[in-house]
Amino acid sequence: MSTRQAGAQSRIAQAFEGHKALIAYLTVGYPKLETCLELVPRLEEWGVDMVELGIPFSDPLADGSTIQEASFHALQNGITPQKCLETTGKLRRKVSIPLLFMGYYNPILNYGLEAFCHTSEMAGVDGFVVPDLTPDEGAELEAATQRHRLDLIYLLAPNSSDSRIKLVADHSRGFIYLVSLTGVTGARQQLAAGLEDFVVRVRAKTDLPLAIGFGISGPEQAKRAAAVADGVIVGSRLIQLIKEDSSYGKVKEFITRLRQAIG
């Protein structure tokens, strides 16, 4: 039976209520399968509002070197979409925050769209972020996610046209993922100069929450993003800290500082 009751407000919607949402990304199976099972409950305790669980893929075109390396090692560890589903089911019994799958379209398609959505719902997944899928080509997955009460979250980049913004706003559910800059994921020293103007353009087209990701690596960047958006997404820097400190002490310090920065 699904962990979500029909008609109930989604966990994703609840995560944005009353404060800025802090969203963390982890690659399932990096550096080991147990990492997600150990770390996600701690992230919830430390103030993370939502977790994206990355499904490793052999050709992660939207990702920079840090997440590419994590994905490669996870694949070497034998991580498959099925193991990601099993891990998420275990996590759902430990945490109450939203759990999203961040993954490329090919592994989902190979699994079977309907089967993957059904099994995700049963595992307690709340939604998908599929970086290589656009609304122009997403009708089949959109229909499957809606049948299984999953939010399909699309991405927008700063160079998106007004018509593209409108299209994504019309088709996204849960929130819209705003890429802070053109390019791939990765920790950076500063965010793009036109970030605020980009958010204003998207705000004009939608009432959905807006979460900013790509390039956020410290409290000052997070604070700037949270000043204009509803949520902040951190991934590459988190992956780096996990690699540096297996005790998760650096991760705790990092998350605590971000939580304080965004309020």
Q: Catalytic annotation on 151?
A: no
Domain 21-262 has CATH 1.10.3720.10: no
Q: Are 99 and 121 in contact (CB under 8 A)?
A: no
For residue 168, pLDDT over 60 is answered with yes
For residue 141, pLDDT over 80 is answered with yes
Q: For position 62, what pLDDT does the model report?
A: 63
For residue 6, pLDDT over 60 is answered with no
Let me know how long the chain is: 263
> Which pTM was predicted?
0.92
Q: Are 52 and 153 in contact (CB under 8 A)?
A: no
pLDDT > 70: what percent of the chain? 91
From 247, 231, 240, 248, select the one nearest 258 (Cα to Cα).
231
Amino acid in position 245:
D
What confidence category does residue 160 fall into, taking pLDDT thresholds of 50, 70 and 90? very high
For residues 184 and 254, the model is more confident at 254
Q: Catalytic annotation on 52?
A: yes
Quote the DSSP letter at residue 9: P
What's the token pair of residue 35?
A: 């990492």
Q: For position 188, what pLDDT does the model report?
A: 42
For residue 170, pLDDT over 90 is answered with yes
What's the token pair of residue 46?
A: 């430390």
Give pLDDT tens digits for 44-87: 999 999 999 999 998 867 667 889 999 999 999 999 999 999 99
Q: For position 182, what pLDDT does the model report?
A: 56
Pick the catalytic residue: 52, 121, 151, 230? 52
Pick the catalytic residue: 63, 126, 142, 151? 63
Rounded Cα gap, residues 206 and 203, in angstroms: 6
Q: For position 4, what pLDDT does the model report?
A: 47
For residue 187, pLDDT over 60 is answered with no
End-to-end CA distance of the chain: 36
Do you find a cis peptide bond into 31, omega within 30 degrees of 0? yes
Q: For position 186, what pLDDT does the model report?
A: 39
What confidence category does residue 194 fall into, taking pLDDT thresholds of 50, 70 and 90? confident
How confident is the prediction for the chain on average, in pLDDT? 92
Give pLDDT tens digits for 198-256: 999 999 999 999 999 988 989 999 999 999 999 999 999 999 999 999 999 999 999 99
Domain boundaries, the chain: 21-262
From 95, 140, 94, select the one nearest 115 (Cα to Cα).
140
